[in-house]
Amino acid sequence: MAHEVGLASSLQVIHHETSPTVRNEEVYRVNPLGKVPVLIHNDGFALFDSNVICEYLDGLHERERAIPLAGRERLVSLRLQALAQGLCDAGIAMRHETERRPEPYRYPAMRDGLMEKLLSSYDFLENEEPSIDPHNAKADHVDIGQIALATALSWLEFRRLPDFESGRPRLAAWYGAFTQRPSMLATPLTGETVD
Ligand SMILES: N[C@@H](CCC(=O)N[C@@H](CS)C(=O)NCC(=O)O)C(=O)O
């Protein structure tokens, strides 16, 4: 988001590993939920979560708004942002049921239910989501829904969660085009989860 609206050079990125089972004191000092991302102002004021941070950043630049201010356009953007959030939530929870939780505590029915959420969201994106068009991914301006979705999908791919591209040509073409954007090339994912 910061790259897309021209604000990346105003931010310093500090990487942190987080897990609900390993308390990261530095993160807890600024977010009582112990989660990243957190945006910390120069005066120490801390803002979370990513939806709120993006809302804040969108008020700081002079380009076209990433979060449309009104109308159906706004609802389409926010709905896609919510879907991206849901994909990450389901993906994180699924990783607990497949690799993060010690094996005796894993619950296969939960894993399957979470997988269902991912697959049904992928199908919705392929068949019903209006923003999924490779022309949109190459346009000068992209909205928060597309930014959030590309970020979520790149994380799902990075963590080897169920594939979303095979059998979904429209989504694959959009994602392939979006990942070539300078914003995505500048922000590759790194890090290992330690629980
Ligand atoms: N909805 C939140 C999700 C944040 C989130 O889940 N962050 C993960 C890493 S990507 C985290 O810090 N998890 C640590 C934990 O659950 O304790 C947002 O968009 O900021």
Average per-residue pLDDT in the chain?
A: 97
CB 156 within 8 A of CB 164: yes
Express each pLDDT in 60-107 by its tens digit: 999 999 999 999 999 999 999 999 999 999 999 999 999 999 999 999
For the domain with range 71-185, which CATH number is right: 1.10.540.10, 3.30.300.30, 1.10.150.450, 1.20.1050.10?
1.20.1050.10
State residue 61's pLDDT score.
98
Those residues with Cβ within 8 angstroms of residue 140's Cβ, 6 or more apart along the chain or in another chain? none
- Give me the residue label for tokens 């009104």: 70
Of 135, 191, 181, nearest to 1 (Cα)? 181
Among 84, 95, 90, residue whose Cα is nearest residue 154: 84
User: What is the C-alpha separation between 109 and 101, in angstroms, rounded?
Assistant: 14
Q: Which atom number of ligand 1 is nearest to the Cα of residue 27?
A: 12
Give the pLDDT score at 187: 97
Give the span between the Cα atoms of 20 and 63, in whole angstroms. Answer: 37
pLDDT tens per residue across span 150-161? 999 999 999 999
Which CATH number applies to 8-58? 3.40.30.10
Averaged pLDDT for residues 24-45? 98
Which of 18, 85, 94 gets mutated to test ligand 1 (max ligand atoms within 8 A of its CB)?
18
Distance between Cα 105 and ligand 1 center (Å): 22
pTM above 0.75, yes or no: yes
The per-residue pLDDT for range 122-143, each reduced to its tens digit, is 999 999 999 999 999 999 999 9
Looking at the chain, the domain(s) classified CATH 1.20.1050.10 span 71-185
Every domain of the chain with CATH number 3.40.30.10 lies at 8-58
